[in-house]
């Protein structure tokens, strides 16, 4: 039996007793009517340059052509607000891929619990594929690839210098001139790559995962759900966001920020420079609504900030934040 559902309103998480996972049942915006199989779930993630398709089937012997399209959730409406210049589809896709990892891991565990070992193995193989792809993206964004690339460039430079020496000794000056130009170009690229890798290793962040923040210029409320030590967006995005006008430019921490839907229902996920964020002067314990908080965080702590799940902390290698003990709050709670 197949159930069809139109997802066009507020996204909420709901545990699926059939596939044993937490599903996004309803979404904001105008999304094409989606068919969700009673015994099959499929997720498709689209990148601008490539398309990755992963399917997980509870009934592997009876595949069906059912598809859930996970794309930008806020389409249509008023998108002319100034804050929209910091909207990031890359950040949104990064979060959705993280959700897909969690979902697949849950399905693997469910299959093991009901002793469907063959299904569990197939799901685990899919999970490994996703984790490999995500790891490559993280290495590219967060400096590991830059460090390896810098090492490869250093080896290439040594080889070119040896070729240059041979060209000079053989009086092949035209070749020597070309080799000098190539060495100079590689040395400049190697320096840039090394600085980028070092920035990731020595990054210092003013804000933490789950912390509630406010945008200095646009005024919206947000929650930190990801971070990079420097801007990792494309040149076209940085041009649109006017990054060159920032005091600290692109070489400062940038944060993935979930935007409260009541503050700006069209923004959803923003990619914000550190200098544009500020912590509220008083603890923000007011209600915060966003479709992604249900799978990224456990809930709010005593200070009003969100508590990131273990997998999110591991993704960014961040320790658990402990709320300072306040005896006055305990006494007031006992008296009430």
Overall average pLDDT of the 98-110 stretch: 92
Q: What angle do CA 56, 291, 137 make, to 5 degrees?
A: 55
pLDDT band at 98, cuts 50/70/90?
very high
The fraction of the chain above a pLDDT of 90, given in percent, is 38
Residues listed for the chain: 336
If you average pLDDT over every residue of the chain, what do you get? 74
Q: What is the pLDDT of residue 157?
A: 86
pLDDT band at 137, cuts 50/70/90?
confident
Residue 77 above 70 pLDDT?
A: no
Backbone angles phi, psi at 98, to 5 degrees: -65, -40
Q: What is the pLDDT of residue 320?
A: 84
pLDDT band at 41, cuts 50/70/90?
very low
Max distance between CA atoms of the chain, in angstroms, equals 92
Q: What is the pLDDT of residue 155?
A: 85
Q: What are 60's two structure tokens?
A: 């592997």
Residue 249 above 60 pLDDT?
A: yes
pLDDT tens digit sequence for 168-217: 899 898 998 999 999 888 888 777 777 666 666 677 899 999 999 999 99
Q: How far is residue 107's CA from residue 120's CA, in Å, rounded to a whole number? A: 8
- Please list, residue by residue across 175-188, b when 16 or more beta carbons sit within 10 angstroms of its beta carbon and e when fewer do: ebeebeeebeeeee
Residue 53 above 60 pLDDT?
A: no
> 100-109, 144-153, 271-280, 287-296: which range is least confident on average?
144-153
Residues 6+ apart with CB under 8 A from 186: 153, 156, 157, 160
Residue 119 above 70 pLDDT?
A: yes
More confident of the two residues 321 and 27: 321
Q: What is the pLDDT of residue 248?
A: 92
Residue 26 above 80 pLDDT?
A: no
Residue 153 above 90 pLDDT?
A: no
Backbone angles phi, psi at 27, to 5 degrees: -125, 155
């Amino acid at each position: 039996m197949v159930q069809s559902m139109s997802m066009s309103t507020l996204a909420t998480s709901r545990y699926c007793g059939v596939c044993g996972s937490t599903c996004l049942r309803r979404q904001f915006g105008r999304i094409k009517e989606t068919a969700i199989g009673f015994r099959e779930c499929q997720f498709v993630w689209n990148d601008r340059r490539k398309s990755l398709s992963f399917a997980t089937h509870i009934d592997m012997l009876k595949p069906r052509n059912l598809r859930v399209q996970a794309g930008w959730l806020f389409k249509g409406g008023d998108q002319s607000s100034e804050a929209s210049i910091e909207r990031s589809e890359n950040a949104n896709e990064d979060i959705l891929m993280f959700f897909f990892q969690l979902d697949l891991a849950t399905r693997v565990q469910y299959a093991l619990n009901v002793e469907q070992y063959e299904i569990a193995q197939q799901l685990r193989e899919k999970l490994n594929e996703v984790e490999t792809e995500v790891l490559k993206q993280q290495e590219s964004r967060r400096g590991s690839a830059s460090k390896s690339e810098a090492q490869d460039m250093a080896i290439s430079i040594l080889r070119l210098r040896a070729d240059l020496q041979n060209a000079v000794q053989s009086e092949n000056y035209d070749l020597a001139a070309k080799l000098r130009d190539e060495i100079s170009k590689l040395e400049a690229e190697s320096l840039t790559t090394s600085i980028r890798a070092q920035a990731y290793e020595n990054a210092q962040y003013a804000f933490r995962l789950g912390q509630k923040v406010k945008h200095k210029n646009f005024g919206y409320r947000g929650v930190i759900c990801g971070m990079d030590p420097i801007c990792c967006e494309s040149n076209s995005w940085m041009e649109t966001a006017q990054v060159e006008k920032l005091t600290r430019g692109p070489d400062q921490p940038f944060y993935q920020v979930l935007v409260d839907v009541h503050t700006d229902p069209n923004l959803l996920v923003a990619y914000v420079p550190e200098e544009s964020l500020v912590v509220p002067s008083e603890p923000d314990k007011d209600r915060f609504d966003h479709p992604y908080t249900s799978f990224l965080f456990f809930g709010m702590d005593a200070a009003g900030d969100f508590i990131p799940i273990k997998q999110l902390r591991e993704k960014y290698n961040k320790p658990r934040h402990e709320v300072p003990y306040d005896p006055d709050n305990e006494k007031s709670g006992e008296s009430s």
